[in-house]
Amino acid sequence: MQEQQQVIRQLESRLSENEQRVNEAESLRTRLSQADAAILERDKIIARMRSAASVVDKGITEMQLRYDEILARMADEITELQRIQQKHGYRSDSLATSRTRSNIERGDHDDESSSTADEYSESESLSSTSSMEGAGSLLDGLNDSSEKMARRGRRVLRARSCILTSNAVHLLRLSVVQGSWFEEPAPLRNMLLRLGFNQLKKRLHRNLDEGESSEGSSQLGGDE
């Protein structure tokens, strides 16, 4: 009788152990299901991240194309500006050294041209910038028979200068947004720094004011 009770206790103990193992197996199965769900969610997140990365790459490509387009447009504007200056008998590379007094009617342009030459003679890019600023003064030196052509030329050069300044602002914003402004080497940043962007903008506004005042005075003289 005692042996039977002992066997029964052993069987109950084994049954309890088996039930515990079954519970552990169920817990493990639950954890595996949760892991599978987490893997599926991770795959979904990775797919969304890849899709977002594709969109970002496409945007960067479009920005780069726009950047190249703006650079090409600026080069075309500078070429067109130099062509207009050469058409009026003026070479842009001579501005950094001297100006012919015989082509200037008002004496105040001599001081302005010499100061501009001293300030922008350090590089070829600064010379072309100075060419834009002094183009209105040079066109003022045309004779009376070509005054109408000179006024038209001033308006064209002033518009070209505004376009170049606007393009420079757009390039600056684009480089900051794209992050290339903070990278090395930074050709765009160096170019804008060489141009002296703030100084270019101030001189552009000053030339605009001087051009408007000179046109107003010429109109008053014509009315008289």
CA dihedral 84, 89, 95, 97 (to 10 degrees): 160
Residue range 128-132: mean pLDDT, rounded = 49
d(CA 100, CA 94): 10
**pLDDT tens, 154-173?**
666 666 666 666 666 666 66
End-to-end distance of the chain based on CA atoms, in angstroms? 142
pLDDT at site 54:
79
pLDDT at site 182:
54
d(CA 49, CA 195): 41
**pLDDT tens, 201-218?**
566 566 556 655 555 554
pLDDT at site 52:
79
Joined together, the tokens standing for residue 112 give: 């302005």
194 with 162: CB under 8 angstroms? no
Domain range summary for the chain, segments of one domain joined by +: 63-223
Q: What percent of the chain shows pLDDT beyond 90? A: 0
d(CA 151, CA 91): 19
Burial of 133 (0-12, 13-18, 19+ CB in 10 A): buried
Torsion 168-174-180-181 (CA) sign: positive
| pTM score, whole prediction | 0.30
